[in-house]
Amino acid sequence: MHILLTNDDGISAPGLLALKQALDPLGKVTVVAPSRNYSAAGHRKTMHKPLRIDETQLSDGARAWVCSGAPSDCVALALLGFVKEKIDVVVSGINPHANLGQDVTYSGTVTAALEAVIAGVPGIAVSTEAGSPPNYAPTAQIAARIVQTVAQKGLPPNTLLNVNVPPQIRGGFRITRQGLRIYRDELVERLDPRGRPYYWIGGEWPSGVVEEGTDFWAMEHGHVSITPLQLDLTAYKALPIVERWFESER
């Protein structure tokens, strides 16, 4: 098996190293990761400037590649031909915080896996609440088990897995649906030394609706959450409603 490994926290992130070492026994692992932190970068694709990839080493001496672009760029470049060997699965992580609910639209971790699925390759995003000091070992071992299963059984077309591991595992795996994130963002306005305003998006840490069957519920109850996500964002329940609005225009 050939695994492409990336993340959104950058090539030197400890979660990347932990996941790489856990995946090594499964086959060949090629690491292509961003040169810097791209957290909350979303599904970014660099089209307006050149991208560079340079050879580097992880802290354990393993060979890796560092890319000037975002996580989705790393995956796109690898699958488009920078990596010559066929890639069987793309794994993104380990993110040091959970990616739940609507986080998946912001997360560079999740959208890297999404880029893989667009290219027709199975994608898996892995996140956890790593704690302080961070402990990635349990999540890395769980991720390796999931990757092995996906490699053996495959995934439905246009589908990726969003995996979230709780800080203290008290149960097994739960196949979940995407829950509802509650954001408490606030706009903070300040003045620079020349009197010009600048802005921060601040506010309290977000929470979520802990409804049974969701990713939030699984994490709250100590279960590993595995959420299948699809490329098709069509709101099917809304189709007949919107069709009625514009019946006279047909």
Query: What Cα–Cα distance (Å) separates residue 76 from each residue in 83, 180, 201, 244?
Result: 10, 29, 30, 40
pTM for the whole structure: 0.94
CATH class belonging to 2-179+208-249: alpha beta
Would you say 82 and 121 are in contact if contact means Cβ atoms under 8 Å apart? no
Phi, psi for 213 (deg, rounded to 5): 95, -10
**Cα–Cα nearest to 60, from 104, 33, 24:** 24
Q: Is the dihedral of CA 11, 15, 18, 24 positive or negative?
A: negative
Question: Pairing state of beta strands 2-6 and 89-95?
Answer: parallel
When pLDDT is cut at 50, 70 and 90, the band that residue 109 belongs to is very high
pLDDT attached to residue 131: 87
Is the model's pLDDT at 132 over the cut of 90?
no
When pLDDT is cut at 50, 70 and 90, the band that residue 105 belongs to is very high
Strand partners, 175: 226
134-168 pLDDT, tens per residue?
999 999 999 999 999 999 999 999 999 999 999 99
* Spans of all domains in the chain: 2-179+208-249
Would you say 171 and 188 are in contact if contact means Cβ atoms under 8 Å apart? no
Q: Name the helix (H) or strand (E) containing 236.
A: none
Question: Pairing state of beta strands 173-175 and 224-230?
Answer: parallel
| Residues contacting 243, CB < 8 A, separation 6+ | none
- The one-letter code for the residue type at 245 is W
**Cα–Cα nearest to 33, from 50, 48, 54, 18:** 54
CA–CA gap between residue 39 and residue 110 (Å, rounded): 10
